[in-house]
């Protein structure tokens, strides 16, 4: 009798995926804790609360500021159930066997992905990762101080323009800073050529000397929304928020090319609650959660319908030039993971630029 039941159960379970849906019983997770580690200012907390309520779980939600910091913590053995690294870091995590594959029976919402985030090189079949937000890196600027044509004509060269001295924010991230310099010089953002990196370093030092920029992280969002400075290097999602708060601001995706980045949800190999993590990822990819999150933080949704609705007529970001990332421009690049020696070398060179 008991055996018969097991066989029946196994049969049902085997057939479930065929039916196209894995029924999740929320009661299964009651009282569990899910450890989620995400970027700062990157979620609508009410979505998290709703998830907690629906599944009777507690989400331990913490935030970090950089991929490098996340990497160090993971190496120290910290266990998280869901993390949201960027493309190149996911590549590194996969190479080091630090991730576990998504359970495609649970995470079915991947079919709702927008065109721009399908088949990405770091994980072409989404074996490990589910794109969360995507973005370009660009310049947000005050059109009352810098006319649109002037900025578009300069692109990254604006960071060498003496006229803006003392009126500039630069994002404190070594990888992005080097990307800006390398693109301005016409190199690849993934270069490992000794001379090109030296050139890029010189470019950044010149920027430091001519502009005396303020090096900031997330505080750039509020500061630019208040119009405290003329221009800032920002991620397009932050720019979308800034533009919606301050109508004098505009966003420039430099003609020299830039970095297109995707932050995706992944499950570390040492996750304590992988099944619930899959359920969480599925929940976050869904239309409702994607809509709420994108409305709240301004980053471009990876959900095709949300992206279209929010940027379309009547959407929250209608006419907002920063919301939808530029896709398909030949000079734009995604980051690939740098060899180990450069992983430490870039932050070192960058620290010296800022301390000079």
Partner 1 sequence: MKSFFRMSYPYILWIALFIVAPMVMILLYAVTRSGNGTITFSFTMENFARFLSDPTFLKVLWTSLRIAFLTTVFCILIGYPAALFIAGLPEKRQTLMILLLTLPMWINMLLKTYAWRGILMNFEDLSSEIRVFIGMVYDFLPYMIIQIHTAIAKLDPNLKTAAYDLGANPWKTFLKVTLPLSVPGIISGITLVFLPAVSSFVIPKLLGGGNYVLIGNLIETYFLVAGDWNFGSAISLIMALIIILSMYLTKKLDTTAKEE
Q: Regarding beta strands 33-39 and 231-235, do their DSSP bridges make them parallel or antiparallel, or are they unpaired?
A: unpaired
Stretch that binds partner 1, among 92-100, 120-128, 147-155, 166-174 (CB under 8 A): 166-174
CA distance 117 to 345: 30
Strand partners, 35: 60
Name the token pair of 7. 């066989």
Of 108 and 161, the one with the shorter C-beta distance to partner 1 is 161
Residue located via tokens 């949201």: 84
**Is residue 215 close enough to count as binding partner 1 by CB under 8 A?**
yes
CA 256, distance to chain mean position in Å, is: 21
Of 170 and 306, the one with the shorter C-beta distance to partner 1 is 170
CA distance 343 to 138: 23
Of 105 and 218, the one with the shorter C-beta distance to partner 1 is 218
One of 11, 79, 165, 351 touching partner 1 (CB under 8 A): 351
CA distance 331 to 226: 32
Q: Minimal distance in Å, beta carbon 45 to partner 1?
A: 21
**Is residue 246 close enough to count as binding partner 1 by CB under 8 A?**
no
Are 342 and 130 contacting, i.e. CB atoms less than 8 angstroms apart?
Answer: no
Contacting partner 1 within 28-67 (CB under 8 A):
66
Give the binding-site size for partner 1 (rule: CB under 8 A).
23
Q: Minimal distance in Å, beta carbon 351 to partner 1?
A: 5
Q: Minimal distance in Å, beta carbon 68 to partner 1?
A: 5
One of 11, 46, 58, 69 touching partner 1 (CB under 8 A): 69
Q: Helix, strand or coil for residue 338?
A: coil
CA distance 172 to 348: 13
One of 44, 52, 68, 196 touching partner 1 (CB under 8 A): 68
Per-residue exposure over 308-331, b if at least 16 CB sit within 10 Å of its own CB, e if not? ebbbeeebbbeebbbbbbbeeeee
CA distance 341 to 197: 13
The contact mask relative to partner 1 for 70-89 (x = CB under 8 A, - = no) is -xx-----------------
Stretch that binds partner 1, among 5-13, 106-114, 190-198, 211-219 (CB under 8 A): 211-219
Q: Minimal distance in Å, beta carbon 339 to partner 1?
A: 14
**Is residue 225 close enough to count as binding partner 1 by CB under 8 A?**
no
Q: Helix, strand or coil for residue 11?
A: helix
Sign of dihedral through CA atoms 356, 67, 285, 51? negative
Q: Minimal distance in Å, beta carbon 173 to partner 1?
A: 9
Per-residue exposure over 168-188, b if at least 16 CB sit within 10 Å of its own CB, e if not? bbbbbbbbbbbbbbbbbeebe
Q: Minimal distance in Å, beta carbon 346 to partner 1?
A: 8
Strand partners, 250: 141
CA 27, distance to chain mean position in Å, is: 32
**Is residue 18 close enough to count as binding partner 1 by CB under 8 A?**
no
The contact mask relative to partner 1 for 167-206 (x = CB under 8 A, - = no) is --xx-x-x--------------------------------
Q: Minimal distance in Å, beta carbon 172 to partner 1?
A: 7
Of 120 and 233, the one with the shorter C-beta distance to partner 1 is 233
**Is residue 212 close enough to count as binding partner 1 by CB under 8 A?**
yes
Of 62 and 212, the one with the shorter C-beta distance to partner 1 is 212
Positions touching partner 1 (CB under 8 A) are: 66, 68-69, 71-72, 169-170, 172, 174, 212-216, 343-344, 347-348, 351-352, 354-356
């Amino acid at each position: 009798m008991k055996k018969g039941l097991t066989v029946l159960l196994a049969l049902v379970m085997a057939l479930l995926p065929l039916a196209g849906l894995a029924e999740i019983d929320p009661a299964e997770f009651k009282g569990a804790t899910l450890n989620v580690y995400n970027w700062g200012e990157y979620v609508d907390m009410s979505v998290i609360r709703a998830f907690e309520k629906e599944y009777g779980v507690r989400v331990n939600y913490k935030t970090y500021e950089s991929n490098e910091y996340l990497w160090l913590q993971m190496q120290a053995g910290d266990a998280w159930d869901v993390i949201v690294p960027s493309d190149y870091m996911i590549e590194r995590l996969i190479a080091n066997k630090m991730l576990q594959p998504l359970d495609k029976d649970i995470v079915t919402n991947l079919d709702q992905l927008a065109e721009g985030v399908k088949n990405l090189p770091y994980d072409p079949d989404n074996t490990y990762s589910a794109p969360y937000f995507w973005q370009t890196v660009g310049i947000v600027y005050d059109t009352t101080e810098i006319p649109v044509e002037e900025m578009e004509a300069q692109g990254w060269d604006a960071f060498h323009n003496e006229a803006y001295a003392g009126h500039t924010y630069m994002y404190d991230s070594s990888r992005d800073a080097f990307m800006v310099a390398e693109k301005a010089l016409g190199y690849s953002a993934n270069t490992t050529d000794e001379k090109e990196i030296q050139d890029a370093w010189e470019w950044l030092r010149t920027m430091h000397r001519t502009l005396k920029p303020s090096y900031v992280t997330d505080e750039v969002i509020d500061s630019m929304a208040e119009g405290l400075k003329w221009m800032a290097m920002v991620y397009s999602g932050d720019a979308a928020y800034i533009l919606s708060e301050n109508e004098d601001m505009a966003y420039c995706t430099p003609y020299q090319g830039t970095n297109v980045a995707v932050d995706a949800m992944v499950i570390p190999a040492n996750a304590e609650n992988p099944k619930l993590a899959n359920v969480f990822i599925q929940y976050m990819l869904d239309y409702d959660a994607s809509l709420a999150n994108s409305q709240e933080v301004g980053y471009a949704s990876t959900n095709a319908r949300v992206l279209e609705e929010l940027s379309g007529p009547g959407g929250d970001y209608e006419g907002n030039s920063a919301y939808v990332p530029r896709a398909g421009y030949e000079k734009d690049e995604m980051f690939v993971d740098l060899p180990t020696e450069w992983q430490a070398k870039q932050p070192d060179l960058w620290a010296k630029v800022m301390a000079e």
